[in-house]
Copies of this chain bind each other. A is one copy, B any other.
Amino acid sequence: MAFKIGLLGLGTVGTGTVQILRDPVQRHPLVNDLEIYRVGVRSPAKARAVDLPAHLITTDLDAIVTDPAVDIVVEVIGGLEPARSLILKAIAHGKHVVTANKAAIARYGAEIFTAAEQAGVYVLLEAAVGGGIPVIEPLKQSLCANRLHTVTGIINGTTNYILTRMQNEGGDFADILADAQRLGYAEADPTADVDGLDAADKIAILASLAFGGRIKLSEVHCEGIRQVSAADIAYADKLGFVIKLLAVAKRDARSLLDESAQLQVRVHPTLVPKSHPLASVNDVNNAILIEGDPIGQVMFFGPGAGAGPTASAVVADILNIAAILKVERGSAARSDGTPLLDPLLACSHQDYYAIAPIAALVTRFYARFLTGDFPGVIGKLGTCFGNHDVSLESIVQTGLRDGLAEIVVVTHHVREGNFRTALDEIRAMESVSQIASTLRVL
């Protein structure tokens, strides 16, 4: 059973999506059931990183979303229009939709989800927030038993990159923005990122999911990072804080059982205590901290953007829809009458993996020896390791312990079997009293 994908857009994320779908080895077997059926682009003549058969490509995006053969429409053109209209038309034609479009969902989510509910189709949007970091689906599924009260995120990679560099280099906003633009970390028109608008779109989506209600984007309080100065970062540092652009959605814990309680949904630069889990989220990384009862705190951390990570989220959504369609269509499909299981939730793999023996491991080691305090012991250890192809990064006599010399060795990447053979030889040396410890190094 193949599921036919109509892909709208073949930019960065669209290309990443095609690359995953055409290279299914060692991904979930369900990827084999997905067929790239049509790809809608604006300029078919443009050179692409993926080489698709010409008959798949069309400039008629309307024809894709209305094609009776298409099961799932994947919208990765971005922007408000024609994305919104295409999504709505796809829904009206009974297609399930996967989108990475935070701007369209944050503005037209109500219209889109109402239409989807009426048509009985899914609109999934994992890629809209946090790039490849699983956060939408965990909010919907893994955390669904919780009464959530706070979502706090670093959900804009560009501003986090700029703030991290301001923190590390002591530079001012304007200079580092200019450099970030030169390096491709910030767009020529950086408004959506640096003024917090992108983060506002995303926190509106997260708040809606976390608290199960709709959010008017115009009511989200939004401040960007233009006014953050090197002086403030330096003073914050002295006070024990780093400055991060946080997006916060909060239901007042005191009134948690009061359904009429108001939400806070806001984006602004914030002094974050250095010991806070979000304080060490640097560069273009994103992280989302979710708090509630009874979970306490959980945090999701990873790459907030990029073709590969975002495409990972897009294809995960496609696979989730395909899995459900498989269950629905197969309701009585198995010959022996047992129900067909959701292939993502079931554990159906039968084969055993061969596990490599630990001797075959290639890793770095730390080892500590207690030896007689004779000249030449370090040389003997070094020679023995060398004889067994164990290359050393350092070997240092760190001091004396109980009248014995203490020697600490750190290896380069070596084969564990070789290291152990060398240790056996060292253990037999008269001058070595004890191999006090051996530990692997990550």
Contacts and interface: CB of A to CB of B under 8 A. Distances in A.
Interface in A281-315: 293-303, 306-309, 311-315
Interface in A1-58: 16, 19-20, 25-31
Contact of A146 (B141, B213, B293, B312): B312
Contacts of A152: 442
Contact of A347 (B116, B146, B299, B314): B116
A437 interface: yes
Contacts of A208: 347, 349, 353
Given A120-B340, A355-B219, A209 B347 contact: yes
Interface stretch (A59-67, A174-182, A185-193, A236-244): A236-244
Nearest to A441: B271
How many of these chains are in the complex?
A: 2
Given A264-B356, A316-B141, A344-B140, A271 B334 contact: no
Name the residue in A134, A138, A213 with the highest tally of chain B Cβ atoms < 10 Å from its Cβ. Answer: A134
Given A295-B302, A437-B229, A349 B213 contact: yes
Contact of A257 (B26, B30, B120): B26
A133 interface: yes
A198 to B, nearest CB: 19
A415 to B, nearest CB: 13
B327 A309 contact: no
Determine the main DSSP class of A at the interface with B: mixed
Interface string A355-370: 1101011001010100
B271 A141 contact: no
A341 interface: yes
A437 B302 contact: no
Interface residues of A, number: 144
A266 interface: yes
Contacts of A206: none
Interface stretch (A272-280, A381-389, A421-429): A272-280
B142 A361 contact: no
B209 A241 contact: no
A221 B114 CA distance: 52
A264 B361 contact: yes
A231 interface: yes
B355 A145 contact: no
A268 interface: yes
A351 interface: yes
Contacts of A441: 241, 270-271
A108 interface: no
Nearest to A214: B352
Interface string A389-406: 000000000100100001
A183 interface: no
B328 A331 contact: yes
Nearest to A147: B26
A220 interface: yes
B269 A439 contact: yes
Interface of A: 16, 19-20, 25-31, 109-110, 113-114, 116-124, 126, 132-134, 137-138, 140-147, 152, 207-209, 211-216, 219-221, 227-229, 231-232, 235-236, 239, 241, 243, 246, 256-257, 259-260, 262-266, 268-273, 276-278, 280, 293-303, 306-309, 311-316, 318-320, 324, 327-328, 331, 334, 338-342, 344-356, 358, 360-361, 364, 366, 368, 398, 401, 406, 408, 410, 436-437, 439-442
20 contacts: A28-B145, A110-B352, A117-B347, A141-B344, A144-B316, A145-B315, A145-B318, A146-B312, A207-B353, A228-B439, A241-B366, A264-B356, A273-B442, A296-B303, A296-B309, A299-B299, A299-B302, A324-B327, A324-B345, A328-B339
Give me the 7 closest cross-chain CB pairs, A-B, nearest first.
A294-B308, A134-B142, A145-B315, A120-B338, A298-B302, A262-B356, A219-B355
